[in-house]
């Protein structure tokens, strides 16, 4: 069993005390490299340009559009790094590198976003006269939490009169690895403003204690059974 802050805004925005995690999303990650032509910004007409940055922007927007179409599955797509060269105000960008993170708990949904990325790369390359290659850096598989544990945690929340939400985790956790070894479950408590990996990350002591009490009740039930 793992107790963790949500690291996202859902519980706080919905006014719910406990998140019962049913699945943990996993990412597939890509490096997209774009070769255009570095030209003078003043002397190169707009219709003669092969702008690597604009090509990358079109790809990034395609990822956003594809991920938004998968809202019901919670799949997300992020361009976390976008660097251009030569990086001068008066030079049309000649090269661009994008690092893309696409993740979700539904494999088919995630694959549709990946397919949209590949289509965007081909379309942008042809339309803008850019040389683009894409490399898959890593691919992990989503993990389901034990269904019996999920049901028991929900039952405990109901017995205690505590509000809860069955939800997936968009972030990776130790439970992803433990699930391959034994029945595994996770409890979330709210994160203020959904902030994480940020100095302002915060969860109240009362919220932490609520999660700890649900964990305690679960562990005592396991002790009774064994």
**pLDDT value at residue 225:** 74
Q: pLDDT digit string (tens) for 47-59?
A: 999 999 999 999 9
Q: Which residue is associated with the tokens 């929900």?
A: 154
Query: Distance (Å, rounded) from C-alpha 205 to C-alpha 99?
Result: 37
Phi and psi torsions of 105, nearest 5°: -95, -15
Exposure b/e, 163-188, CB count within 10 A at least 16 = b: ebbbbbbbbebebbebbeeeebbbbb
- Give residue 90's pLDDT band: very low, low, confident or very high (50, 70, 90): very high
CB-based contact 153:187 (threshold 8 Å) = yes
Domains and their CATH numbers in the chain: 2-25+143-225 (3.40.630.10), 26-139 (3.30.70.360)
- Model pTM? 0.85
CB-based contact 215:202 (threshold 8 Å) = no
Token pair of 222 as six digits:
């396991």
CB-based contact 90:41 (threshold 8 Å) = yes
Q: pLDDT digit string (tens) for 132-177?
A: 999 999 999 999 999 999 999 999 999 999 999 999 998 889 999 9
CB-based contact 11:191 (threshold 8 Å) = yes
Query: Distance (Å, rounded) from C-alpha 19 to C-alpha 157?
Result: 10
Token pair of 115 as six digits:
């397919």
CB-based contact 2:173 (threshold 8 Å) = yes
């Amino acid at each position: 069993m793992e107790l963790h802050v949500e690291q996202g805004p859902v519980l706080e925005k919905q006014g719910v005390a406990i998140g019962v995690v049913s699945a943990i999303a996993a990412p597939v990650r890509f490096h997209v490299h774009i070769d255009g032509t570095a030209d003078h910004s003043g002397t190169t007409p707009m219709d003669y340009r092969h702008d690597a940055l604009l090509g990358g922007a079109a790809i990034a927007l395609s990822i956003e559009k594809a991920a938004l179409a998968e809202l019901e599955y919670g799949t997300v797509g992020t361009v976390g790094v976008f660097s251009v060269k030569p990086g001068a105000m008066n030079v049309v960008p000649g090269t661009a590198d994008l690092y893309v993170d696409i993740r979700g708990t539904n494999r088919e949904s995630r694959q549709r976003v990946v397919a949209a990325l590949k289509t965007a790369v081909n379309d942008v390359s042809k339309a803008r006269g850019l040389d683009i290659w894409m490399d898959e850096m890593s691919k992990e598989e989503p993990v389901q939490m034990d269904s019996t544990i999920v049901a028991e945690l929900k039952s405990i929340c109901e017995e205690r009169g505590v509000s809860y939400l069955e939800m997936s985790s968009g972030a990776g956790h130790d439970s992803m690895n433990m699930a391959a070894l034994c029945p595994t479950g996770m409890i979330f408590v709210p994160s203020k403003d959904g902030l994480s990996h940020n100095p302002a990350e915060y969860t109240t002591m009362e919220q932490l204690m609520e999660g700890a009490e649900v964990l305690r009740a679960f562990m005592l039930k396991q002790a009774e059974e064994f």
